[in-house]
């Protein structure tokens, strides 16, 4: 294969005799959801092939026994530049070599790099020994058999679909839900929050891994009160490390709300979201899970995050956008560099705006 850029408009027919496909995507929850359309496209193009997601332990646990495009998960060790510091060595080298040996034994026909620009991941993927390697390539990354220039910011779902197209998978918008619920999801959600007759559930998600993307807790509390006045049952979700934030939102509310920080695994969260009429969330994994499940969401976004996180079905998302670029503490522009402060960059989004979007979402769902 030639290591030349493939023109984006050029179509690639499916390969013959494809039995095994590997997709390198060892990311977080939202990043996995961004890849779902591409994974569905690959499975549709190669229905008889076994699709292996090269990812993390949480992928294995979440996807075990769950119908969908992924047939199995290969949990990779930390690799320099892919989950480990670029200079990592020592014991890590032996673990990586053992993993590569296991991957080569699988005799993959196609290996797709869906982890960034490929500075470290392209060379790692090539060691799998697949018949065809495809993916994105930044300027400082080695080429694959077929590659596209790495860009950012871009709509991530579309960018990954374009990579799947290099492997002969025509783009598609997968049917809803993009994720399959299993009985264990519903049972876990019911144990954490037993359903009630006539339930109209609204879920608030006040956390985010980047503090700059967090809408203020007092705004979430005020919004929760407005939703409660409309007769909705309000639940506040968060990871175990966000318990204090969830408690703050619940404590500021004048009406009852259920605090769920740390009480739901990823499957249980899916079970809860599937019951919800609405999710109001910062730009974080649960928002993208809800959209993949077909649940309307109000998302509070900072700048280019909306470009990257836009779903293939824009009608499901009601977006509130902050255009702030300068830190409210020191005034430094945070687009190219990050200052040491973790002040909210989405605090400019007003309560009335988010409440209006939530009301519109509820009206549209009946």
Band of pLDDT at residue 7, cut at 50, 70 and 90:
very low
Band of pLDDT at residue 89, cut at 50, 70 and 90:
low
Band of pLDDT at residue 85, cut at 50, 70 and 90:
confident
pLDDT tops 90 at residue 59? yes
The CB-side HSE value for 119 (13 A sphere, CA atoms) comes to 7
Q: Note the maximum CA span of the chain.
A: 64
> What DSSP string describes 305-326?
HHHHH--S-GGGEEEEEE---B
Residues in CB range of 249: below 8 A, 6 or more apart: 204, 206, 217, 220, 221, 224, 236, 257, 259
For residue range 267-299, list pLDDT tens digits in order.
999 999 999 999 999 999 999 999 999 999 999
pLDDT number for residue 317: 98
Average pLDDT, the chain: 94
Tell me if the pTM is above 0.75.
yes
pLDDT number for residue 90: 57
Q: Would you state the structure tokens that stand for residue 90, as one six-digit string?
A: 């020592």
Question: Going along 209-284, which residue ranges are E strands?
Answer: 233-236, 258-259, 276-282
Residue 216: beta bridge partners? none
CB 87 within 8 A of CB 80: yes
Average pLDDT over residues 237-250: 97
Q: In whole angstroms, what is the distance from residue 27 CA to residue 162 CA?
A: 19
pLDDT tops 60 at residue 9? no
Q: 3-state DSSP: the chain helix, strand, coil percent, rounded to 5?
A: 35, 20, 45
Q: In whole angstroms, what is the distance from residue 112 CA to residue 18 CA?
A: 13
Q: In whole angstroms, what is the distance from residue 142 CA to residue 151 CA?
A: 16
Residue 280: beta bridge partners? 204, 298
- CA angle centred on 364, ends 345 and 201, rounded to 5°: 70
């Amino acid at each position: 294969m030639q290591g030349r850029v493939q023109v984006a408009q050029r179509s690639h027919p499916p390969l013959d005799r494809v039995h095994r496909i590997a997709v390198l995507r060892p990311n977080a929850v939202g990043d996995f959801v961004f890849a779902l359309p591409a994974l569905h496209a690959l499975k549709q193009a190669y229905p008889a092939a076994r699709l292996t997601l090269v990812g993390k332990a949480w992928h294995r646990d979440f996807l075990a026994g769950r119908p969908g495009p992924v047939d199995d998960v290969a949990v990779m060790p930390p690799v320099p530049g892919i989950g480990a510091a670029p200079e990592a060595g020592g014991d890590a080298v032996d673990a990586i070599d053992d993993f590569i040996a296991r991957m080569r034994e699988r005799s993959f026909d196609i290996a797709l790099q869906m982890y960034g620009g490929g500075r470290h991941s392209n060379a790692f993927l090539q060691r799998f020994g697949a018949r065809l390697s495809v993916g994105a390539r930044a300027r400082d990354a080695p080429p694959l058999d077929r590659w596209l220039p790495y860009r950012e910011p871009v709509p991530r779902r579309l960018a990954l679909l374009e990579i799947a197209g290099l492997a002969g998978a025509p783009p598609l918008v997968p049917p809803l839900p993009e994720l399959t619920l299993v009985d264990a999801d519903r049972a876990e959600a019911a144990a954490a929050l037993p359903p009630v007759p006539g339930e109209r559930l609204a879920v608030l998600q006040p956390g985010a891994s980047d503090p700059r993307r967090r809408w203020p807790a007092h705004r979430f509390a005020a919004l929760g009160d407005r939703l409660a006045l409309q007769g909705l049952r309000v639940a506040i979700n968060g990871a175990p490390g966000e318990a204090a934030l969830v408690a703050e939102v619940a404590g500021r509310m004048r009406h009852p709300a259920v605090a769920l920080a740390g009480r739901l695994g990823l499957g249980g969260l899916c079970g809860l979201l599937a019951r919800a009429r609405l999710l109001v969330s910062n730009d974080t994994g649960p928002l993208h899970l809800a959209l993949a499940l077909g649940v309307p969401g109000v998302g509070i976004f900072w700048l280019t995050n909306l470009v990257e996180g836009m779903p293939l079905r824009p009608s499901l998302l009601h977006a509130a956008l902050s255009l702030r670029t300068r830190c409210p503490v020191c005034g430094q522009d945070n687009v190219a560099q990050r200052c040491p402060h973790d002040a909210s960059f989405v605090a400019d989004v007003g309560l009335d705006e988010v409440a209006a979007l939530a009301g519109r979402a509820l009206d549209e769902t009946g």
